Structure formats: structure tokens, C-alpha cells
Structure 1
Amino acid sequence: MSTVIEQPVEARLVAAAPRMPSIPATLHYDRSDPFAVRMTFPAPATLEGVEVCWTFSRELLAAGMREPEGHGDVRVRPYAYDRTVLEFHAPEGTAVVHVRSGELRRFLAATSELVPPGLEHLQLDLERELAELMRGTC
């Protein structure tokens, strides 16, 4: 069984213009980092012209599909019929994208098959990670 899930999604960038341009994005989940989800936007879709990757909690994504969640750099909330809004806040500005909720539900279902919510801690090797942190401190 694979330990990584990648799913392309179509995101619509909310802009001042009346038409929201569609931009590609990829959702990524790795069992070795079981609490996190990454959303990557390719270089042509960003103002800087470089690939941009945001990392946030799987729990934030799931909860934000039901009601507004997040107080930091990433915020998620339901919007209209079958849309979810993701806001990405950075010093350079804020990007707001709409994603079909069905695509997000499919992604979350796949991640849940790989690592059921609430059992993420079983994927971690805390003793090894603690040993790595302590190496060289004495």
C-alpha cells in the first residue's frame, strides 16, 4: 500500500475581476507526516513565478469544510453549494481560492483509509525522533 496520496484539484482564484481564473493545485498527504496536508501551486499560477507549497493540518481542512476554521496563515470555510474556500495569508498578501468540496472529500477519504483520524500518533516513531533531537546536546 502506498504511503503517499497526491490528488490534483482545480482551484479558482478569487480576484477583483468578475471571472475567477482556474489554477491547478495538488493536494499531498504522506503517512510519515500524518497530521499534515500540503497544497502546492505550480510556478505559472503564482505571482512570484515559483512553486508555492502550503502545509496545514488535515484536521483544519476537514473541520473547515463544515464551519469556518483557522486563525493563522491558513483558514478554511464552506462556501455556497459544494465549494470550500481556502485562504492563505503571507506577508506579501492573501490568496483566496475556491475548491470543489467533493474533491476535498475524496482526498480526505483517501487519507483516512491510509491513516484513520485519531490514529495519526501510531505512525510516529517518537523515540527515534527524540533521539535525533537529543543527539549532540550533551
Structure 2
Amino acid sequence: MAEMARTRPVAVQVDTALRLVVPDGSGVPVQATLRYEPTDPYAVHVIFCADLADGDDPEPSVAWSFARDLLLTGLTEPAGMGDVRVWPWTGQDGQVVALALSSPDGHALFEVPTATLDDFLQRSYAEVPAGEEPSYVDLDAVVTELLRA
């Protein structure tokens, strides 16, 4: 019997509500999208959506990109340094993952539902398994992009 060819991996996207932790310890819900693109196999993207009136489609307002393995490590132990840090944490609603983002414009601490993040990562690793990322990098496209600059 002939082997079935693996289908081309697809993007993984999860819309979720994060909790922005404010200085008094309370939280503000923030709509966000977790996105993984097999064409950028080492990275994940968190896209924070603007707060719009009911009935409007959310428009991306801020996007952060960082290493996929940083999120995976952050599920079970502190990971990252500098602009992006991730660690398991007990929040107001139980076990969550803390996501701390820093930029010259300020700092933000978010609580990410652990189950949502774990599901997202499992789906991304099902598309591009750990260690197989180099097979999905289009070096010609990278060189072309670098030469454009």
C-alpha cells in the first residue's frame, strides 16, 4: 500500500479573552487572537483587538511575536527575559499562565487561560512538530526579504 502524503500544514488560530492585570490587582478582559503560521515555524503571534462597540468587528490594534517554545516552557516553569516573560500562575480564576510584555511605551501583565494556551500549542505542534521547523523555513523568501531592505 502506498504511503499517504502529509498534507501541507495549516495556520492555527484561537480567539480568546485574556485578563489584563491592573495595578490594584483587579482585571480587565481583553480580546486576543493566538496565531501560528507554519511559514514562520518558530514564532507565535498574539494579536490584541481594539475594544469596539457591540456589533463591530474587532480590528487588530497591537501584535506581539515571540518564540513558540517560550510559551511551551512557560506552561510549566518561568521562561523568557526582557520584553517577553511567561510563567505558570494562580490568578483570580485559578491556574493561568502569566504573560508579561514590556516595551519602551510601558508594561502589561496578562493572564492567559492555561487550557486555551495548551490546546493552541498542541495544535501548532501537530502542524509542525518540534525539531522539524527548519523544514518549513523558505530560505529563498527570507533572502529575498533581506535583500529588499
Structure 2: distance between partners of 1:4 and 1:88: 24
User: Aligned pair count?
Assistant: 132
Q: 1:95 is matched with which residue? A: 108
Task: Give the counterpart of 1:71 among 70, 81, 105.
Answer: 81
- What's the offset of the Cα at 1:18? 4.3
Give runs of aligned pairs for residues 46-125 of structure 1, distance below 5 A.
51-80=61-90, 81-125=94-138
1:3 maps to a residue whose letter is: V
Runs of 5+ in structure 2 lacking a partner? 1-6, 53-58
Is the Cα contact below 8 Å between 2:39 and 2:138 reproduced in 1? Answer: no
Task: Quote the Cα distance in structure 1 between the aligned partners of 2:122 and 2:36.
Answer: 11
Distance in structure 1 (CA, Å) of the matches to 2:26 and 2:49: 20
Gaps of 5+ in 1: none
Between Structure 1 and Structure 2, the one with more strand by share is 2
Letter in 1 for 2:62: V
Aligned to 1:34: 41
The 3-state SS of whatever aligns with 2:51 is helix
Q: Matched residues in 2 for 1:134 and 1:102: separation?
A: 38
Contact 1:3 1:32 in 2 (8 A): no
1:23: how far off? 1.1
**What code does the residue aligned with 1:65 have?**
L
Q: Distance in 1 between matches of 2:12 and 2:101?
A: 22
CA deviation after TM superposition for structure 1 residue 135, in Å: 5.4
Pairwise mapping of residues 119-134 of structure 1 onto structure 2 (< 5 A)? 119-126=132-139, 128-129=140-141, 131-132=143-144
For residue 22 of structure 1, report the CA deviation from its aligned partner: 1.2
- Using structure 2 for the length normalisation, give the TM-score: 0.80
CA gap of 1:135–1:89, structure 2 versus 1, over 3 A, is closer
Asked if the contact 2:47–2:60 (Cα under 8 Å) also holds between the matched residues in 1, the reply is no
The TM-score, its normalising length taken from structure 1, stands at 0.85
Work out the percentage of aligned pairs sharing the same amino acid.
33
Give how far 1:129 is off: 3.9
What is the alpha-carbon distance in structure 1 between the residues aligned to residue 117 and residue 146 of structure 2? Answer: 38
Contact 2:41 2:128 in 1 (8 A): yes
